[in-house]
Amino acid sequence: VAVGTKILSYGCSTGEECFSLRRYFPNSRIIGVDINKSNLRIAQSNNDDPNIEFFSSNETNIKTLGPYHAIFCLSVLCRWEDTKLLQNCANVYPFSKYEASIAFLASQIVEGGLLIIYNSNFRFEDTRVFGEFEIIDTPSVSDSGFVVKFDSFNNRVETLHRPCIYRKKYQ
């Protein structure tokens, strides 16, 4: 990865994801955002890397700190415990909320940049912004997470979903 590469950990929790990403991307600037202020304090207190920073997760911060070469959304775009037994998730986590979040994040990725979505309640392929991306085939990845999937009508989907890495197309 080239020097100057910027990575966003969306929903970084207490920072472990950012610290793990550092091992794979040693020359990148890593931004972690989360809505939980207590988790952010823990992340900041465990951080001694000047190229890893933590911020409150809001559109202003994400936009100001971007754009990004990669955005990781791992186990954050879901409501696992609340949806695992549902046939329809509209009252708990509607597709419209997911799509709004993912459309915003997609707009913050540079052309050729990556969007990594793992353990999400919905399939990125069902969103209106999917057409701006291509699927990166990952034969070693058997699925896109254990979290139950729903379609754009919030109905449970029983078929296996594999893709989890997407590259933003060059326009």
At 141, list the tokens: 């990845």
pLDDT for res 69: 97
CB atoms within 10 A of CB 54: 24
With DSSP H G I counted as helix, E B as strand and the rest as coil, what are the percentages for the chain, rounded to 5? 30, 25, 45
Residue 6 has pLDDT above 60, yes or no: yes
Determine the average pLDDT of the residues in 96-116: 98
Please indicate, yes or no, whether the overall pTM of this predicted structure exceeds 0.85: yes
Confidence bin at 140 (pLDDT 50/70/90): very high
* 57-80 confidence digits (pLDDT tens): 999 999 999 999 999 999 999 998
Mean pLDDT, the chain, as a whole number? 95
Determine the average pLDDT of the residues in 106-127: 97
Q: How far is CA 75 from the centre of its chain?
A: 8
- What is the 8-class DSSP label of residue 108? T
At 74, list the tokens: 């791992």
Residue 2 has pLDDT above 70, yes or no: no
b/e for 122-147, b at 16 or more Cβ within 10 A? bbbebbebbebbeeeeeeeeeebbeb
Residue type, 83: T
- Run of H or E including 97: helix 95-107
Strand partners, 33: 10, 55
pLDDT for res 171: 83
Residue 3 has pLDDT above 80, yes or no: no
Residue 4 has pLDDT above 90, yes or no: no
Q: How far is CA 32 from the centre of its chain?
A: 11
